[in-house]
Structure 1
Amino acid sequence: MGRRTLVDDLVDGLLEDILDGKLQPHAALPPEADIAKAYDVSRLTVREALKALRAQNILYVKAGRGTFVNPTDNWTGLDAIFKAASHDNGAEQVAVGLIEMRRMVETGAAALAAKRHTPEHAQQMRECIADMKRFHDSGDLDAFVAADIAFHDAVLKASGNPFVRALFAQLGQLLYVKRRETSAVEEIQLHAIDYHQKVMESILSGEAELARRTMDEHMDQTYRDYERYVHHAAS
């Protein structure tokens, strides 16, 4: 991880001001000189921070009028989107949104994997399931989560589409945190093992529609488990 800079700190500070409501959607930002004075940084640092925020569509420019705050549904930076979704007790929005995203992507990946998997992919999936069983029995939560994620990564590899894996790589830390939250429940671990076995068998059958449907059912179970054991338990 690279060293943080004054620009990084200012980006985070302005983002917090936006999320805290100090800067409302479509509100104009103060002049650069005022921001520099408020954060005790140079105007060059302010320009670079505003540039970074514009690149994520957090800010937008009106020619001759200044820089303005974009509504969050226009943002494109993943970290900023997650911070916005998690802000003000929005953890459920993040969890459900990730399941919805996984459903859209992983069902298609499973269908492709049914047609494109190799013996090596099949072996990887088998090893991941065996690891999940072993770590469930030993009570090693972190290792269980790692094996869970590795299984899904094996499916993504088997799809033969590198863009899918690249997309999930951007979500790696957040996916790990949310998987760990749900996998702390023993019943959810058992459901995951059961459905991973079903998903693997459907992929190895070579039937794309069966693989798609089975992965979709796995996402249904994931959502039900979240609602029953995590969301309602925390309410």
Structure 2
Amino acid sequence: MARKSLVDVVADELLDRIVAGEFPPGSGVPGELELSARHEVSRMTVREAMKTLVARRILRVERGRGTFVNPLNQWSSLEAVLRFASEGQDDAAVAVQLIELRRMLETGAAEIAAGRITDGELAEMDEQLALMRAAHEANDVDRFVAADLAFHDLILHASGNVFVAVLFEPLTRILASRRAQTSKVVQIQINALAEHANIMDAMRSHDAERARLAMDRHMEQTLNDLKTHVLES
């Protein structure tokens, strides 16, 4: 692995501080002198680090006023947004937006996959659903989450669209940690099992519209469960 340059080190640490909530959206960040002293680097290095974050639209420069943090919805770096989603403080908003993104991607993937899925892939989905049921009975959240993710991953790959799987892959780590949180709630597991069974039946029928609607209902149920059992509590 290539060693990070000093510019990257300074930019990453400042991003870490932004993600941790030390500098929330709209707030100003330290100037060049303060950052150069903190990192024991030249002002030129700090200036280049700031330019990196400005280019990613994480920061903005206001002439005569200073450098400020942009709202998350203006950031253009997927890596930075994913870091915020996994480590940031605005948990509720990010959790809802992740489900909205999944709804956009996975309903379409299910619709396409229904017409292309093979008997072998259906058998693998059945196996993962069985593993989810067994994990639920054993109160094994980690195994439940692993089987849940594998079930959805099979549908993404069954769609045959390489872009869908590639776009979704960076979300896997975040989804795993968030599913571990929500799946601790027994009622959420029960609801998930019912929705996954409906999706399984729809995929087995090879009915594209039925598969799309089944996945959409699952995403709606997931959002409702998040709001009812996690965010409100």
| Fold shared by both chains (TM-score > 0.5) | yes
Amino acid at match of 1:184: K
**Shift in alpha-carbon separation, 1:51–1:116, aligned structure 2, 3 A:** farther
Does structure 2 conserve the Cα–Cα contact (< 8 Å) formed by 1:121 and 1:157?
no
Tell me the equivalent position of 1:41: 41
Show the counterpart of 2:50. Answer: 50
Change (3 A) 1:17 1:144: closer
Matches of 1:17 and 1:186 in 2, distance apart? 35
* Shift of residue 178, structure 1, vs aligned partner: 0.9
Which SS does the other structure have where 2:209 is aligned? helix
Structure 2 unaligned spans of 5+:
none
SS of 2:192's partner is helix
The yes-or-no answer on 1:112 pairing with 2:112 is yes
Task: Give the total of aligned pairs.
Answer: 230
Asked if 2 retains the 8 angstrom alpha-carbon contact of 1:85 and 1:93, the reply is no
Contact 1:114 1:204 in 2 (8 A): yes
Indicate whether 1:228 and 2:228 are aligned: yes
Match of 1:71 in 2: 70
Check the 8 A contact 1:24/1:69 in 2, yes or no: yes
Q: Which residue of 2 aligns with 1:182?
A: 182
* CA–CA separation in structure 2 for the residues paired with 1:17 and 1:105: 29
1:116, distance to aligned residue in structure 2 (A)? 1.3
Q: 1:228 to 1:23 in 2, by over 3 A?
A: closer
The CA RMSD measured in Å over matched residues stands at 3.2
Residue correspondence of structure 1 range 16-165 to structure 2 within 5 A:
16=17, 19-21=21-23, 24=26, 30-31=31-32, 35-43=35-43, 45-46=45-46, 49-59=49-59, 68-69=67-68, 71-72=70-71, 73-82=73-82, 89-165=89-165
Distance 2:79 2:218 in 1: 27
C-alpha distance in structure 1 between counterparts of 2:120 and 2:25, whole Å: 52
Q: What TM-score does the superposition give when structure 2 sets the normalisation length?
A: 0.83
User: Residue 115 of structure 2 aligns to a residue in which SS?
Assistant: helix
| Paired amino acid for 1:20 | E
Change (3 A) 1:34 1:21: closer
TM-score w.r.t. the length of structure 1 is 0.82
State the identity %: 41
Tell me the amino acid that sits aligned with residue 106 of structure 2: E
Q: Displacement of 1:24 after TM fit? A: 3.9
Q: Give secondary structure in 2 for the equivalent of 1:116.
A: coil
* Helix, strand or coil at the partner of 2:41: coil
* C-alpha separation in 2, matches of 1:164 and 1:170: 11
- Letter of the structure 2 residue corresponding to residue 214 of structure 1: A
| Structure 1 residue ranges without an equivalent (≥5) | none
- C-alpha change, 1:56 and 1:189, in structure 2 (3 Å) is same
Native 8 Å contact 1:115 1:206 kept in 2: yes
Q: 1:127 to 1:44 in 2, by over 3 A?
A: farther
Q: More displaced, 126-135 or 73-82?
A: 73-82
Q: Structure 1 residue 209 and structure 2 residue 171: aligned?
A: no
